[in-house]
Amino acid sequence: MTATLKQIARRTGKSITTVSRALADYDDVSPETKALVRRVADELGYTPNLLAQRLQKRRSDTIGLILPTFGPRFSDPFFSEFLAGVGNAATEHGYDLLVSTQAPGDGELQVYRQKVQSHQVDGFVIVRTRRQDARIQYLQDAAFPFTAFGRMEGDLDFPFVDVDGVEGMRAIGKHLVGLGHRRIACLAPPADLLFTDHRLAGLREALAPHGLALPDDQIINGDLTQKSGFDAVEHLLSRSQAPTAIAACNDLMALGAMSAIQGRGLAVGKDIAVTGFDDIPMAEHSHPPLTTVHQPIYQIGKLVCDMLIHLLRGEALSSRQVILAPKLVVRHSCGSAPQPAVA
């Protein structure tokens, strides 16, 4: 049995009210009483019952994060780093983090609805936004607090943080063209994710001035896993006109691509260039180290969560919509002599 206010009240001979107010340092409690109450509270090892506190305060001091994962085997460094960012920001401000996994689809909205209606969480962090995002539409309609990593199609005005994917892939494109590549293939994420558009657009923008296009058959949609990158490249290399460069839209697929290339006895960087996007820790220590675009995922998680907490506290947001500039990180996967970064 853990201690309650009632027990402290009995032990000190004060009322529950006074004990509560003493612990909360109200100034209508005498210093002597405060000292007494605190001493007894310590003796009994008192910790407020959060369940009761939350019921009375009508808030849960909890932030919800629902990971949109397919299938059980889920092992994405992107998510774990993001999670760490969100989690640490939450802890820092005294919030709890409620984590759930739920594949996109029919059940998904139900999970959000349930958590909202049962007062289980005070706000949500949304990750991996989609072109038409039912989660965002629902939360917006319900006027329930949330922040997102990623944007949405249309002009819904909600608070988010995103990385400028157009700019990032443009940098990649310029880099590859600058190295003389003309046949470039792209490993794209699923089409319902909005950032797919951004990244393809950026790549196209870089190619266009050189009279280069990105034909549909040079775009292969994967599911962001290493395996899908591997499979895509197996397919690509079995065709007659193999590309000289492969721009993957995330590092995991790039790593899979490298492995497929090497599996065929070709050298990454020499025979075929490969680039990624994310700059996961793995990218630095692959062989060859991966040229990619850095996204500060941990910081983004932290920022998104901080923004949400501001919202929950009714504080003003310094900026509701943040778009971060990505940074090209040139390593060795496009040739062994890295060039100075192309801004």
Partner DNA sequence: ATTGACAGCCAAAACGTTTCGGTGTATGAT
Partner DNA sequence: ATCATACACCGAAACGTTTTGGCTGTCAAT
Binding footprint of a second copy on the chain (CB under 8 A): 2, 45, 47-52, 54-55, 58, 60, 67, 69, 72-81, 83-85, 87-88, 91, 96-102, 114, 117-120, 225-227, 229-230, 255-256, 258-259, 262-263, 280-282, 284-289, 298
Q: What is the CA radius of gyration of the chain?
A: 26
d(CA 314, CA 311): 5
Nearer to DNA, 52 or 325 (CB): 52
d(CA 268, CA 343): 24
Give the residue carrying structure tokens 């990218």. 283
Phi-psi region at 219: left, alpha or beta (left = phi > 0; alpha = psi -120 to 50)? beta
Q: Is 24 near DNA (CB under 7 A)?
A: yes
Nearer to DNA, 62 or 250 (CB): 62
| Angle value at C-alpha 105, between 99 and 109, nearest 5 degrees | 60
Measured from the CB of residue 117, what is the shortest distance to DNA in angstroms?
A: 9
**For residue 113, what are its two tokens?**
């609805």
Q: Is 55 near DNA (CB under 7 A)?
A: yes
Q: Determine the distance from the C-alpha atom of residue 301 to the mean position of all C-alpha atoms in its chain, rounded to a whole number.
A: 5
Measured from the CB of residue 54, what is the shortest distance to DNA in angstroms?
A: 9
Give the residue carrying structure tokens 């003493």. 22
> Among 38, 48, 84, 88, which residue interacts with DNA (rule: CB under 7 A)?
48
d(CA 343, CA 340): 9
Nearer to DNA, 15 or 336 (CB): 15
Q: Is 46 near DNA (CB under 7 A)?
A: yes
Ranges of H-type helices in the chain: 5-12, 16-23, 31-44, 50-57, 77-92, 106-117, 134-141, 165-178, 194-207, 226-237, 251-263, 281-284, 297-312
Measured from the CB of residue 63, what is the shortest distance to a second copy in angstroms?
A: 11
Contact stretch for DNA (CB under 7 A) within 8-16, 65-73, 108-116, 132-140: 8-16
Measured from the CB of residue 332, what is the shortest distance to a second copy in angstroms?
A: 9
Q: Is 30 near DNA (CB under 7 A)?
A: yes
Give the residue carrying structure tokens 């002009």. 155
**For residue 62, what are its two tokens?**
């909890």
* 88: partner contacted, choices DNA, a second copy, none (Cβ within 5-8 A by kind): a second copy
Q: Is 182 near DNA (CB under 7 A)?
A: no
d(CA 253, CA 275): 10
> Among 10, 11, 25, 33, which residue interacts with DNA (rule: CB under 7 A)?
33
Measured from the CB of residue 130, what is the shortest distance to DNA in angstroms?
A: 32
> Among 10, 39, 57, 270, which residue interacts with DNA (rule: CB under 7 A)?
57
- 8 Å CB contact between 292 and 251: yes
SS (H, E, C) 56-124: HHCCCCEEEEEECCCCCCCCCHHHHHHHHHHHHHHHHCCCEEEEEECCCCHHHHHHHHHHHHCCCCCEE
Q: Is 120 near DNA (CB under 7 A)?
A: no
Nearer to DNA, 120 or 132 (CB): 120
Measured from the CB of residue 293, what is the shortest distance to a second copy in angstroms?
A: 17
Measured from the CB of residue 42, what is the shortest distance to DNA in angstroms?
A: 14
d(CA 47, CA 233): 57
Measured from the CB of residue 147, what is the shortest distance to a second copy in angstroms?
A: 18
* 21: partner contacted, choices a second copy, DNA, none (Cβ within 5-8 A by kind): DNA
The count of chain residues that interact with DNA, using the rule CB under 7 A, is: 29
> Among 35, 39, 43, 49, which residue interacts with DNA (rule: CB under 7 A)?
49
